[in-house]
Amino acid sequence: MALQCGANSGSSRSNHSVLAFTAFNNCVSWVLATGQTSWFYLYGATIVRYQFPS
């Protein structure tokens, strides 16, 4: 899934700040979601490793 962290170049200048703010919020939300998912997988893998040592 491609993620664009930026406003459309064809936007009018009056809406540029709004689009940039929206894009920034989307990027932050995506980074937080990805970070939480990665942390969840790492945490789960650590628990499994201790529960079932190889």
Cα dihedral value 12, 14, 19, 22, nearest 10: -170
29-50 confidence digits (pLDDT tens): 988 888 888 888 888 888 888 8
Confidence of residue 10 (pLDDT cuts 50, 70, 90): low
- Residue 1 pLDDT > 50: no
Alpha carbons 41 and 54: distance in angstroms, whole number:
18
- Report field, pTM of the whole predicted structure over 0.85: no
